[in-house]
Amino acid sequence: MRRRTFIALAGSVSAWPVVARAQTPTRLGFLGAGTANSYYMRRLLAGLTQGLTENGMIEGRDYLLEARFASDYERFPALTRELQQAKVRIIIASTIAAVRAAQQLSPPIAVVMAAINDPVGTGLIASLAHPGGLTTGTATLNEDVTPKLLEFLGVLVPRAATLVALYNPANPSSVNFLPSLRRESSSRGISLIEVAFESSANLGSTLSTLVAEQHPNALQLLADSFVFDQADRIAALALAQRLPTLSSAAEIAYAGALLAYGLSVKELYRRSAYHVKRILEGANPADLPVEQPTHVGLVINLKTAKALGMDVPGQLLARADDVIE
């Protein structure tokens, strides 16, 4: 797997207007996929708050966060207009559809991406080093690690024959990850069942039917904010069906999945605060390189493994960055 490091920050500051510290807190907008009170979103917003604090910004004193959430991605344009009417200086966006909606505002508002999948491939920015426009922030490595997870499945379930891939069809990056996952599955003799996740209402019955009729050996969650927002519920439903769950975000293992190999989304949210601060200081978003993780980590939930009656090989535990007991 190709591991990319953070791109060195450009030192140039262009004509983006410099604004002195206001007497009243700056309003920041946040567009989230899912719900405000989920385990996943609470963890990510804690990362954003931590990052802003580390950059000298205290909530209530220096900024107020205007947050909007949607499970239906078609609602993002209306929510961005609400944020514009609330006079936010920057919109922090959590998924591709939210970024696109924010980019279409007129007059334009600076956009900071928080842990966005493949922003170049999906046309959100020109390049990581020179994003262009008014958009910068942080990006994931999920295009690399999504097929890589099958290596861990092979260790945990050596005779795995069938894998369920749960993805959000409204997220173009998730759809784009499927071909590489199909190729990797096929090369390992694993049949891939692709399940579109559009509502959590019937997920329990869907998994129950799949297990009864097709006997899958594992469930993989393809990276998407709405899917991850339901991670604790998905992990619980999968556990009830004796189905090991894998994903590319550390937070999903903390929510109850068996294994995560990839990035800490919370850490990317924390780092996104740096871009917010730079823009407020007068930097042009076009001149702020989009950053990616410097570390890809392995998290194993041993508590979940025990509940599944699985033995995790010692060599895999030795490789783990974190083991949840």
What is the per-residue pLDDT across 174-183, written as a single tens digit (0 to 9) for each? 889 999 999 9
Per residue in 28-38, pLDDT tens?
Answer: 999 999 999 99
Nearby residues of 164 by Cβ (< 8 Å), 6 or more positions away? 193, 195, 207, 210, 216, 218, 219, 220, 243
DSSP 189-233: T-EEEEEE-S-STTHHHHHHHHHHHH--SEEEEPS-HHHHHTHHH
DSSP 111-127: EEEEEES-TTTTTSSS-
* pTM for this predicted structure: 0.89
Q: Assess whether pLDDT exceeds 90 at residue 121.
A: yes
Q: What is the pLDDT of residue 33?
A: 94
Per residue in 202-238, pLDDT tens?
Answer: 888 888 998 999 999 999 999 999 999 999 999 999 9
Per residue in 65-93, pLDDT tens?
Answer: 999 999 899 999 999 999 999 999 999 99
User: What domains sit in the chain, N to C, each tagged with a CATH number?
Assistant: 26-140+265-287 (3.40.50.2300), 142-263+297-324 (3.40.50.2300)
Residue 134 is classified by DSSP as: T
